[in-house]
Amino acid sequence: MIIDSHNRTFKTLRISLIGLCNLGCVYCVTNNEKKPLYKKKALSYLELIDIVKKLHLLLNLKTIRLTGGEPTLYPQLVEFIEGLSSLQLDIKMTTNGYNLEKLINPMHDAGLKHLNISLDTTNENTFKKISNRAKVHKILENIEKCKEKGFNIKLNTVIVKGINDHEIIDLLNYAYKLNIPIRFLELMKMGHLFSNEHEKYYFSEHEILESIKSEYSITKDIRTPHSTANYFSLNNHKYKFGIIANESEPFCSDCDRLRLDISGNIYGCLSDNQPIDISEDFNNEEILRQKLHIALKQKQNDSFKGSMLSMLAIGG
Ligand code: SAM
């Protein structure tokens, strides 16, 4: 068994398919740079599928989450999903939703049924401030189209103090009206925020809850093991929202996530991003097992320590 002294193992594999994004969010990039961040050559999608199969044999994974950068920019996205679908796992994707329109049918047919769509605002001016791009309505339209198609959707919203913290109730009402769970994320100390500006932009779970309590009464649900989010119910409504409180209420103690990048590096924790290269030896079960043990040792016992890498590089 690949398990540590805290009974942790890997059950969720997050694959960062590309180090590029079509948005330039303030918390992810500094100067809107767009170059890929991986150093080594990218593996082909067929090689990546082989790696996933070998990891699955050892770990008996439950979920694969495709992310990035922006996974919809990965040219072989649909073929990759098709290749993974034979594994009979839950395949999920985290996307900013901007490019989804043409992919909705092919992705669904290929076997993807779960989408986390990142939406930090519904307001055009705020969208420009956060993402350096225009046309947030494209994302809003795509959310509705994905819902019509039958995708299981969650929304992810990073709250950035001074930029979108005044829109928490609007965002909650938007999601509630569509009956889509929304999860508010505390800003994590990553990339350029590691040494700069985290404190300036950080808005805590406590502050998010205070905003919501100004409009709704709420109760906290019991946390599901391995979950990243704390969930809350709006009283007298059958609606739940979540908060991913990585900074103020870390969930390292039962974290089951393993990350894989497109060059064939694995990472056991966002806080310790020393890449562990498995690209050349994933066919050797013993070596792969040893490397997974090394990745498991990267996990923190108590809390996220921050990282010099941005989410764009390591995969959100
Ligand atoms: N491009 C895709 C997207 O926007 O969903 C997938 C990758 S993105 C890095 C994944 C998630 O990480 C997004 O919801 C994004 O808002 C979030 N994120 C990025 N940097 C973050 C940070 N420093 N703190 C908290 N969340 C962050």
Which residue CA neighbors atom 19 of ligand 1 most closely? 311
As given in the structure block, the two tokens for residue 75 are 């040219």
Q: What is the pLDDT of residue 157?
A: 98
Q: What is the pLDDT of residue 194?
A: 85
Which residue CA neighbors atom 8 of ligand 1 most closely? 316
User: pTM here?
Assistant: 0.96
Lining ligand 1 with CB less than 6 A are 21, 27-28, 67-68, 70, 94-96, 118, 156, 158, 185, 187-188, 190, 193, 311-312, 316
Category of 141 on φ-ψ map: left (φ > 0), alpha (ψ -120 to 50) or beta: alpha
Q: What is the pLDDT of residue 168?
A: 98
**Between vectors from CA 248 to CA 188 and to CA 244, what angle results, nearest 5°?**
65
> Residue 172 — pLDDT band, cuts 50, 70, 90?
very high
pLDDT digits (tens, 9 = 90+) for 60-87: 999 999 999 999 999 999 999 999 999 9
**Ligand 1 atom closest to the CA of 120, numbered from 1:** 16
For range 19-32, the mean pLDDT: 85
- CA 177 / ligand 1 centre spacing (Å): 24
pLDDT score of 33 more than 60: no
- CA 311 / ligand 1 centre spacing (Å): 6
pLDDT digits (tens, 9 = 90+) for 223-251: 999 999 999 999 888 899 999 999 999 99
- Going by C-alpha positions, the residue among 27, 29, 45, 25 that lies closest to residue 37 is 29
- Domain spans, the chain: 12-314
pLDDT score of 27 more than 60: yes
Which whole-number Å values give the CA distances from 133 to 16, 31, 68, 98, 123, in the listed order? 22, 13, 18, 10, 12
- For the sheet with 63-67, list strands across it: 218-220, 230-234, 239-244, 182-185, 152-158, 114-118, 90-95, 63-67, 12-16, 257-261, 265-267, 276-277
Q: What is the CA radius of gyration of the chain?
A: 19
User: Which CATH topology does 12-314 take?
Assistant: TIM Barrel (3.20.20)
Which residue CA neighbors atom 2 of ligand 1 most closely? 95
> Residue 39 — pLDDT band, cuts 50, 70, 90?
low
Which residue CA neighbors atom 5 of ligand 1 most closely? 95
Phi/psi for 175 (5° steps) reads: -70, -40
Which residue CA neighbors atom 11 of ligand 1 most closely? 316
Pocket test of ligand 1: the residue of 311, 312, 314 to mutate, having most ligand atoms within 8 Å of its CB, is 311
Which residue CA neighbors atom 4 of ligand 1 most closely? 96
pLDDT score of 34 more than 70: no
